[in-house]
Amino acid sequence: MSNPVHSQPTVVDSRLMNDSRPFGDFAPSGLARWVIDRTRGLPEGWAGRRVALMLRRLAMKTLKGLPLDLETFGLRMRLYPYKNVCERRILFTPQYFDVDEIKLLTSRIKDGFTFIDIGSNVGWYALSVGREAGSVPVRILAVEPQPEIFDRLIYNIGQNPSCTIKAVDCAVADKTGELTLFLDPLNRGEASLKIVNSSQTDAIRVPAVTMLELLNREGLTRVDAIKLDVEGAEDLVLDPFFRDAPASLYPGLFVVANVPERWQIDVVKLLKGKGYRQILTNKMNLAFERG
């Protein structure tokens, strides 16, 4: 399956300056601290989300491009909320961030639990599973191809030493090699092997592997759960995986970004044809369980 072609992408160096100073040097204060405390305490529902959005806009006007250091549900993270929707959500409203999906994943934690977070961004899923696992021996891979975001992922993992997570800096695709990754300059969390939804698109070259190659390289013979969020290229990842991988490597649980309008094949039909049943549907994600 061929990738869409984008004419004359702007090639950029995405390794911008991430600050490596000790955690706590960028603790929020003043209005930002007040807003964060209020938005994090808002209840679920339309009204709470609307109030959170208004307060967030107010706080963002006062920030000066510096990161913010916060503990969120027991996780220490340095967040850059300026051009990454994921980091804004963690900063202001973590109580709304894929709560059902993370509950599904953490409810399955047991000795030897193996979880792969593909499209890890700054590590929210991987760190959440690691936090919940506690002293239970688990194996977690956090896979992120963007150098700038990967640096932030590494920093956040380092602030949570009780979470045993291996970060892998590559894309997961339909073939192994060096591929073009398209970036949305307004949302660095939206990077894809397909053209992102933006009138202006940057591009970088990154190493890529197939999902089967990733599992083989890591010596995995069993996978309990995979979160796959690669901004519309989920079909490019899953089609060759199910074509080439033995059934013994099929994960028990898949959480997949809900973007069917971007797929060239029916991912839901593909998963159901491999013995999965759909157990969660919301605006952001779909979840499938096998067996």
- Which domains are assigned to the chain? 30-93 (no CATH), 96-290 (3.40.50.150)
The predicted pLDDT at position 196 comes to 62
Total Cβ atoms within 10 A of residue 165:
23
The predicted pLDDT at position 291 comes to 82
Residue 5 DSSP code:
P
Measured CA to CA, the distance from residue 113 to residue 136 in angstroms comes to: 9
The predicted pLDDT at position 200 comes to 56
User: Residue 73 class from Cβ within 10 Å (0-12 exposed, 13-18 middle, 19+ buried)?
Assistant: middle
The predicted pLDDT at position 3 comes to 40
Q: Classify 222 as helix, strand or coil.
A: coil
**Predicted model pTM:** 0.91
Which residues of the chain are modeled with pLDDT < 70? 1-17, 196-200
Q: Retrieve residue 139's tokens.
A: 């194996």
Q: What share of the chain is helix, strand, coil (3-state, %, to 5)?
A: 35, 25, 40
The predicted pLDDT at position 259 comes to 96
The predicted pLDDT at position 11 comes to 34
The predicted pLDDT at position 194 comes to 85
Give the chain's end-to-end CA distance (angstroms, integer).
Answer: 29
